[in-house]
Amino acid sequence: MVFSSCIFLFFFLPVVYLAYCICPNLRVKNALLITASLFFYAFGEPVYIFLMIGSILANYCLARLIAASEKWSKAALCVTVVFNIGMLVVFKYSALLIGTAAGMLRRTVTIPQLALPIGISFYTFQALSYCIDVYRDKALVQKNVWKLMLYISFFPQLIAGPIVKYHDISVQLSARCVTIEDTARGIQRFITGLAKKLLLANTMAYMVDTLYTTQLDFMLTAWMAAVCYVFQIYYDFSGYSDMAIGLGRMFGFAFQENFRYPYISGSIQEFWRRWHISLSTWFKEYLYIPLGGNRKGEVRTMGNKLIVFMATGIWHGASWTFLVWGLFHGLFITLEYRNLIPLKNKVFAHVYTMLVVVCGFVIFRADTIGQAVHILASMFTGVHVDAIERMLAARLLTPYNIVCLVAAVVFCAPVSEWVKGRVRHPAVRYAVSLALLALCILNLASSSYNPFIYFRF
């Protein structure tokens, strides 16, 4: 079940929210949200729900052990890290590791094909953040297993984030309230995210998927595919985050922002302060700083940054393209750290940043390193005009797709914030939200194309 589906919008969400409103106290409300969240996950993963529940129970016990014994807390934390990372290795990376090892040894082996549990990267990192927070502050240990289960399984952020750190939400598990204003703003934020997903991300996705059916030998089609994917992944990820933040607010939870207009950045460092903020801050708090951060000298700092970005790439999936994408960004981060790239001119800085981002996402989207190299070469040297690709580009540049592309360019800048600052009347904002919702419903009714990008992660 995804947020941008009829069953979620017209059945699951209204039923759960209305039931939540009539629950007499917070204890019952939490029980309802746990039940709803488990149903939400089981709807798509009826078997792997037991894996998630087992992970929650295991981390609950390990955290209690970390908090109970000062002598054994470090050992218990090590077991916790091995257990959670081990889960990711088994279900997410085992095929890649076995295949790579077999290739190096020139052996033929049968590679196990395990289905990737939806959201495992997100809920595993949340469980890890909880246990590490308890290690750092024993008072944070959650003795009520149901509250921990709610924290990890809460359906708005369960399958695609944002990654909610335990210390940011621990108080809200035990004390929160929902006001009419919270509900209204939450619904507005949800509709904004839904519009990003259905009206912009899905349109860009259709263009990208269509273009990727060709070789992409021509410069124009290669750039079209690259630029459309840049907008697809932004509006898909940020749209889902908007929906999650809006849903959280409707139920009394305040989630941190996950995207802050990353495409206006003037450096790759700034880009990562604005892009997938929950992931980058997670790695900063739980990997970069424990490695020593920038406290061990320049060489060690650059090494730590490369390790973090290598881990960021690997986190996204079991493919060498993700690893190379992470190292690609890490390389430019280290170059900027050494001041080897002149960023004083704002125009140059922005063009440079977006060029790195676009080229990086070509690697991210590609199925193989070879395909990524071919597309990047075509973007800069593909002067051969392929008739099929030219016809395909002309077919895709319909008035509707062009309008969506222009809207994607405009709204990746803080235009909406500028408009909100000048249109203060709530009625206007509600009218805009209702209009967007109507367009989303029409889109759902008229189109069956609704890809779920998070299956890869």
> Which positions are catalytic?
316
Q: What number of CA atoms fall less than 13 Å from residue 437's CA on the CB side?
A: 15
Separation between Cα atoms, residue 294 and residue 424, nearest integer Å: 44
Q: Is-contact 247 180, C-beta < 8 A?
A: no
Q: 10 Å Cβ neighbour count for 382?
A: 22
Q: Which of 339, 375, 336 is nearest to 358 (CA)?
A: 375
**Type of residue at 368:** T
Separation between Cα atoms, residue 302 and residue 297, nearest integer Å: 9
Separation between Cα atoms, residue 49 and residue 43, nearest integer Å: 9
Separation between Cα atoms, residue 216 and residue 235, nearest integer Å: 23
**CA 96 → CA 119, 143, 175, 208, 320, distances in Å?**
19, 38, 44, 26, 9
Which residue in this structure is represented by tokens 């939540």? 20
Longest dimension (CA), the chain: 71
Q: Which of 119, 56, 111 is nearest to 83 (CA)?
A: 56
Phi, psi of 164 (to 5 degrees): -90, 120
